[in-house]
Amino acid sequence: MIFRYYFLKEGNRVYDKSELITFLKANPYIRLEDEGMIKKAIYHNPNLKLDATFVFNNKSIIERIERLNPKYLDLNIYVEIPVLTNTYKVNRIIDIIQEICFRFDFAVYNEYFEDVSKFDRSLLVSVFNLVKKAYKKRYEDEFVAYSKINPDLLDNIYAFLDNKAQIETETDLKALNYVFLRENDTRNAYTCLDLTFDQGFLIPPACKLARYIKDGKYVVISYEELIKKIGKYCKNVTNLSSLNVLAVEDKYVRKINKVLTKTNFDKVIVPLSEVELDQILDL
């Protein structure tokens, strides 16, 4: 299912289309495509696995447009987002919508609004989440294939991935990878830290589990138990306190490897399967 935000303008349909196209083209995640009379600005962010499409149509597709406030005129421009998109990612598209509205004096509409509205982030987010929850209730069977993680943890994961390149540049350290493990009998998934390193590294936030190779096999343990053993070798990245990113310097790598070799951690024995991040939802 596709969710749409429509752009309208009060009083007239006059705006600088070339300036809007230039604004969209400047985004490194957007490419332009033409499909006959329809122009599309396709957004793809591989870091977040986020996709959306800004569509310039040659006609209105708003249903029952006559019931809307007549002072607003449809510009035949809208944004399409898959309804099964996590809220953090939706907010990144809403960031773009916000700038468009402020630059070009546009208003926004969706079928679940009472009427056309000036930009209001809380309204845009709440209506999207309302539709997503309704979709889940109606198509519950479809959600069995998707895993779930606590929304706050998922927001922290995406916030880190969104800023990962900058964080690595500022600290001159590479971040360890996330692995996502799902309980085989439920939709519950857990963020697992992949302990593969040969030099100093960053520990990303929101981890619940950790795994490493011992005797040729993966061992999955509690992240909390791991930090009790290696926490003295970690330090907070001070300018990222809100994300709780930890840094380990090169000089401590051998000591941490020794901890992993010598410590008999309690192993997680619940059957788990690896899943992709884009198969995890916040509901």
Do 118 and 26 sit in the same domain of this protein? yes
User: Residue 113, by phi and psi: left (phi above 0), alpha (psi -120 to 50) or beta?
Assistant: beta
Do 159 and 89 sit in the same domain of this protein? no
Condensed to tens digits (0 to 9), the pLDDT of residues 43-58 reads 999 999 999 999 999 9
CA distance 277 to 78: 27
Strand partners, 106: 9
Do 190 and 240 sit in the same domain of this protein? yes
Alpha helices by DSSP H, listed for 54-120, are 87-104
- E-strand spans in the chain? 2-10, 30-35, 38-45, 50-56, 72-82, 106-109, 147-148, 174-175, 178-183, 189-194, 201-203, 209-214, 217-222, 235-236, 246-248, 272-275, 280-281
CA distance 191 to 189: 7
Do 7 and 75 sit in the same domain of this protein? yes
Q: How many domains does the chain have?
A: 2
More confident residue, 244 or 172: 172
Do 116 and 153 sit in the same domain of this protein? no
Do 101 and 167 sit in the same domain of this protein? no
Q: Write down which residue in 113, 143, 173 finishes a domain.
A: 143
CA distance 157 to 169: 18
Reported confidence tier of residue 237, pLDDT bands at 50, 70, 90: confident
Residues of the domain holding 240 = 148-281
Check residue 241 and give its pLDDT. Answer: 58
CA distance 56 to 202: 42
Amino acid at 122: S
Who contacts 211 (Cβ-Cβ below 8 Å, separation ≥6)?
179, 192, 193, 194, 195, 218, 219, 220, 221
Do 176 and 268 sit in the same domain of this protein? yes
Do 11 and 116 sit in the same domain of this protein? yes
- Phi/psi at 33 (nearest 5 deg)? -140, 145
Check residue 141 and give its pLDDT. Answer: 87
Measured in Å, how far apart are the chain's first and last C-alpha atoms? 16
Reported confidence tier of residue 238, pLDDT bands at 50, 70, 90: low
| Stretch 252-257: mean pLDDT | 95
Residue 214 in this model has a pLDDT that exceeds 90? no
Which range among 3-7, 142-146, 150-154, 276-280 shows the weakest confidence by mean pLDDT?
Answer: 142-146
Do 154 and 127 sit in the same domain of this protein? no
Do 133 and 152 sit in the same domain of this protein? no
Do 134 and 43 sit in the same domain of this protein? yes
Do 168 and 233 sit in the same domain of this protein? yes
The mean predicted confidence, pLDDT, of the chain is: 94
Reported confidence tier of residue 84, pLDDT bands at 50, 70, 90: very high
Reported confidence tier of residue 8, pLDDT bands at 50, 70, 90: very high
| Stretch 197-212: mean pLDDT | 95
Residue closest to 143 by CA, chosen among 1, 273, 239: 1
Check residue 10 and give its pLDDT. Answer: 96
Say if pTM beats, i.e. exceeds, 0.85.
yes
